[in-house]
Each structure stands twice: as C-alpha cells, then as structure tokens.
Amino acid sequence: MEELNSLADLLDLQAVDSEIDRLLHERTSLPVLTEYRRSHTRATALIAERDKVAAELRQTELALDKTSGELDLAERKLAAEQNRLYAGGISARDADYLRREVEMLDRKKSEMEEEVLALMEQREELQTRLAQLETDVTTASADKAGFEATITEAWKGIDVEIARKERRKADIVPAIPAPLIALYETLRRQKDDGVAVGRLAEDTCGACHLRLTQAEQFEAKRSHPPRCIHCSAILVP
C-alpha cells in the first residue's frame, strides 16, 4: 500500500514537472520573441550604420576645414603675387617667372575651389543620411523596447505559474522515497519529452501509449517499481 501511495505521488510529481516543462517551453517560445530578435537585429544594424556615417561626416568636415584653410592661403598668396606683378618695377625675367607663378596659383585655386564644393556636397549628403538614420534608430529602438515590455509582462505571468508549480513540487517530493525520486530523475533526463511515469490504464502505458499484453503486464509488475517493457517508464497500476 505504501508503494502504491508513493507511485501515486510520483504520478502527481510527473504531472507537475510536465506542467513546469510546458511553462518553460512557453517562456522561450513566445511569438513576440521572434519580433524582438528581428527588431534587435535591425536596431543594431542601424546603429552601426549611423555611427559609420557619423564618422564619415566628421572626416569630411575635417577635410573641408583643411581644404578651406588651404584655399584661403592660396587666395591670399595669389593676390599678393598678382599685386607684385601689376605693380611693375621688376625685370622682364622676374616678370615672366611671376606670371607663370600666378597662373600656377590660379589653377591650384580653381582645383581647390572644386574640391571644396565637392566636400560641401558630400557633407550635405552625409548630414541628410545621418538625420534619416537617427530617425530610423529612434523608431527601431522604440519598437524593440515595446517588444521587450511585452515579453517582460508575459514572463512575469509565466514565472508566477512556475513558482506556484515549484511550491506544489516541494510539497510532493518529501513523500516519495529517495531511491524512487533518483530513478525518476534519471529516466526524465533520458527521455526527450521528460515523461518518466505513466498510469497503466486499460492495458495501456500512460507514458508511451502502447498496449501491454497480460503477460507483459505481469512482467512489468514483477519489477520494483513496475516498469513498462516498451519505454521503461515507471508504471502506476
């Protein structure tokens, strides 16, 4: 009788553990988790792209400042050389050399002006792109936070249920002999579905749902505790 009571308690324990397993699976397979992972990936990619564009913008601004400064120096040097040339009072040889110098400086100034314009256009494009990315990052981060809040709320409810089942389990375990608990835990680890105990009802194992003949039932009940000959689960008559 005591063994039957222990097996009945074990069956209750299996029911509780199966429910805990179901809740843990539910916790890790919430549909919203897929949306959260997708939003996390998108937000991460957008942040990386934003930082990359921001770095390009900083480099462009530095290049623009440098080129603008060089252009300013070139303009001043050109103006000074032109003044010397137009002022006269120099030899023909020096005047010819100065004219070539002025032409070279003028070409250089034109090239630098084009470079400054190109850098300004690049800066404007990057600024526009960065502003759009900032908006996209804000939106993606808000979506991610929304999914995270939904997950947290769902987990809170599931965790309450798990805690309730764990308390019920703690009440059952002391009533079951330690060797039986040890066998039960070993079988649970060996089975994909974690079902190590089944009731023998109408000649059918409640764990694997296979029928046992009269001879097989007799053989199963000879072991202590009774074990299904098909799946090795503990049987509760």
| DSSP for residue 213 | -
Distance CA 55, CA 149 (A): 32
Domains and CATH numbers, the chain: 30-160 (1.10.287.1490)
Q: List, in order, residues 6 or more apart from 234 with CB less than 8 Å away.
A: 7, 10, 180, 183, 184, 187, 196, 197, 198, 225, 226, 227, 228
Query: What length does the chain have?
Result: 237
Distance CA 81, CA 102 (A): 6
Each of the 237 residues of the chain gets a pLDDT tens digit; together they read 456 678 899 999 999 999 999 999 999 999 999 999 999 999 999 999 999 999 999 999 999 999 999 888 888 887 877 777 677 667 677 667 767 877 788 888 888 899 999 999 999 999 999 999 999 999 999 999 999 999 999 999 999 999 999 999 999 999 999 999 999 999 999 998 999 999 998 899 999 999 999 998 988 888 889 999 999 999 998
- Indicate the helix (H) or strand (E) that contains 24: helix 2-28
Q: Is 156 exposed, middle or buried (0-12, 13-18, 19+ CB in 10 A)?
A: exposed
The whole-number pLDDT of residue 3 equals: 60
Token pair 């004219």 is found at 99
Burial 22-31 (b: 16+ CB within 10 A, else e): ebeeebeebe
Name the amino acid, one letter, at 58: R
